[in-house]
């Protein structure tokens, strides 16, 4: 019995010890260059998928979502805050988007594989160690739903659709001076 317990304990402690040695030896996979280790990729990706699915439960879009006014406001905000990482249709990838790992999904794909509540949660909370910022501290729920409304509208869209919406938003002054300090609202 004693041996059995000892075996289980060392089985659990050995991976922990190896991880600590790797970390203190300065050999952890910190670089954002591919390829990243498969087990790490798997763990982070699975944790992400499960967490986003659970956290989005019970979140409801506001009435009228996605309304044309929401889509337009979201277009201006997206162009200012998100387009450098989530490449819009027809645009070349930026130096920022090319250097991130995991790679940020393209704009037109952001809502192809996520529900609106899931996207809303990610926009508010960000994704640790991925480059995806949390916009919750600086934006109201209504503003985050506007971004989601825009993303749902441009899912699978072409360059002309994206540029037209952004031009309309800019003409209407939406997203103008879109820099929020903490507690701006
Ligand atoms: C500095 C780069 C960067 C900026 C700026 C950025 N994102 Fe992201 N975003 C990322 C990365 C990287 C991921 C992928 C995270 C992952 O897969 O773990 C991501 C993921 C997402 C996701 C989830 C996609 C999915 O399939 O799970 C959504 C939605 C999203 N971003 C929306 C936005 C919006 C809206 C903005 C602007 C308000 C924005 N992002 C700004 C880098 C960025």
User: What would the pLDDT profile of 143-177 be if each residue is shown by its tens digit?
Assistant: 999 999 999 999 999 999 999 999 999 998 854 55
Check whether the bond before 66 is cis (ω within 30° of 0).
yes
Q: Please tell me the residue having the least CA distance from ligand 1 atom 17.
A: 102
Mean pLDDT of the chain: 91
Residues 6+ apart with CB under 8 A from 86: 78, 97, 104, 105, 106, 107, 110
Please compute the mean of the pLDDT values over residues 99-112 and round it to a whole number: 94
Please compute the mean of the pLDDT values over residues 62-75 and round it to a whole number: 95
Residue 153 CA to chain centroid, in angstroms? Answer: 18
User: Is the beta carbon of 105 within 6 A of some atom in ligand 1?
Assistant: yes
Q: Please tell me the residue having the least CA distance from ligand 1 atom 39.
A: 82
Nearest CA among 114, 140, 112 for reference residue 127: 114
Nearest CA among 175, 179, 115 for reference residue 148: 115
Q: Please tell me the residue having the least CA distance from ligand 1 atom 1.
A: 131
Residue 133 CA to chain centroid, in angstroms? Answer: 7
User: Is the beta carbon of 126 within 6 A of some atom in ligand 1?
Assistant: no
133 neighbors 126 (Cβ within 8 angstroms): yes
**Ligand 1 mutation target, pool 104, 106, 125, most atoms within 8 A of CB:** 104
């Amino acid at each position: 019995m004693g041996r059995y317990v000892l075996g289980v304990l060392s089985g659990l402690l050995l991976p922990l010890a190896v991880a600590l040695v790797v970390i203190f030896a300065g050999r952890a996979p910190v670089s954002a260059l591919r390829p990243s280790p498969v087990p790490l990729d798997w763990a982070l990706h699975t944790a992400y998928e499960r967490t986003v699915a659970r956290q989005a439960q019970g979140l409801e879009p506001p009435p009228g979502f996605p309304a044309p006014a929401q889509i337009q406001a979201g277009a201006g905000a997206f162009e200012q805050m998100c387009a450098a990482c989530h490449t819009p249709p027809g645009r070349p990838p930026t130096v920022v988007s090319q250097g991130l790992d995991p790679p940020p999904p393209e704009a037109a794909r952001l809502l192809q594989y996520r529900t609106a509540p899931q996207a809303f949660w990610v926009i508010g909370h960000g994704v640790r160690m991925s480059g995806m910022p949390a916009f919750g501290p600086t934006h109201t729920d209504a503003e985050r739903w506007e971004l989601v409304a825009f993303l749902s509208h441009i899912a699978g869209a072409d360059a002309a659709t994206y540029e037209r919406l952004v031009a309309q938003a800019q003409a209407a002054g939406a997203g103008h001076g879109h820099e929020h300090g903490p507690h701006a609202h």
